[in-house]
């Protein structure tokens, strides 16, 4: 396998795929989602892994292993081929000025770059509805805060490391806050036919400055 993936048995009904880089995770996840056979219960990407849960009565682990091993992604698809979500943002975050200083640019340029970048949900975690968003450049990479906040308001738009994200609920957090949004990231009352999370792995996200 050219990407050096390792496929590990993870209990009686799951496999864990280990990869070296996030771009490999993105590409393989997309290919597995596209070719998903009957019997696959769930695909869960993370920073360097993909969890694959199956119903062994429908898809034996050996068959799932062969399917994963044979997958040959060409790389992530273009943004135009993926579901997209626009998130309106008021760039009023407490850390906006500090982040701009860290990056060596005016606040207006930081806002312009954040909105001009095309983001993709690489994986979800931390809290229901929280998506870790990545883009195709490293011009917005910043460290986490030295001292995390004990409470970050719901709707806070933030940066940390190579990621951007939106806090779906109030919680402790150490990300750099650059703005706020009224978008609902997690709807626990969603109908059975609807997904409770606004952002799911593979979704394209565009931040739009609110006027």
Question: Nearest CA to 46 among 157, 160, 124?
Answer: 124
| 6-70 and 80-209, same CATH topology | no
Residue in 22, 34, 44, 19 with CA at minimum distance from that of residue 67: 34
pTM of the model: 0.89
Nearest CA to 137 among 115, 120, 154, 117? 117
What is the third-level CATH fold of 80-209?
A: Cyclophilin (2.40.100)
Average pLDDT of the chain is: 93
Length of the chain: 211
Residue 80, pLDDT > 80, answer no
CA-to-CA distance for 125 and 128, rounded, in angstroms?
7
Supply 181's token pair.
Answer: 């949004």
pLDDT, residue 2, reads 66
Query: Using one digit for the tens of pLDDT, what is the confidence trace for 83-99?
Result: 789 999 999 999 999 99
pLDDT for 79 equals 60
Q: In terms of CATH architecture, what is 6-70?
A: 2-Layer Sandwich (3.30)
Burial 63-102 (b: 16+ CB within 10 A, else e): ebbebbeebebeebbeeeebeebebebebebebbeebbee
**How large is the average pLDDT for residues 165-189?**
95
Tens-digit pLDDT profile for residues 18-40: 999 999 999 999 999 999 999 99
Sequence spans of domains, the chain: 6-70, 80-209
Cα 61 vs. chain centroid, distance in angstroms?
Answer: 27
């Amino acid at each position: 396998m050219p990407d050096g993936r390792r496929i590990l048995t993870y209990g009686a009904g799951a496999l864990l795929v280990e990869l070296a880089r996030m771009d490999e995770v993105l590409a393989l996840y997309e290919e597995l989602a596209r070719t998903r056979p009957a019997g696959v219960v769930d695909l869960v990407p993370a920073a360097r892994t993909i969890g694959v849960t199956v119903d062994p009565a429908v898809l034996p682990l050996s068959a799932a292993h062969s399917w994963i091993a044979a997958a040959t992604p060409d790389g992530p698809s273009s943004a135009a081929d993926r579901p997209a979500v626009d998130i309106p943002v008021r760039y009023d975050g407490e850390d906006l000025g500090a982040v701009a200083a860290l990056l060596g640019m005016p606040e207006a340029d930081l806002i312009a770059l954040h909105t001009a970048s095309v983001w993709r949900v690489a994986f979800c975690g931390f809290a229901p509805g929280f998506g870790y968003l990545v883009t195709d450049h490293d011009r917005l990479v910043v460290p986490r805060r030295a001292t995390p906040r004990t409470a970050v308001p719901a709707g806070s738009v933030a940066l940390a490391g190579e990621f951007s994200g939106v806090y779906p609920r109030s919680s402790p957090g150490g990300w750099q806050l650059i703005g706020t949004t009224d978008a609902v990231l997690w709807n626990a009352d969603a109908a059975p036919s609807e997904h409770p999370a606004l952002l799911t792995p593979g979704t394209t996200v565009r931040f739009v400055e609110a006027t």
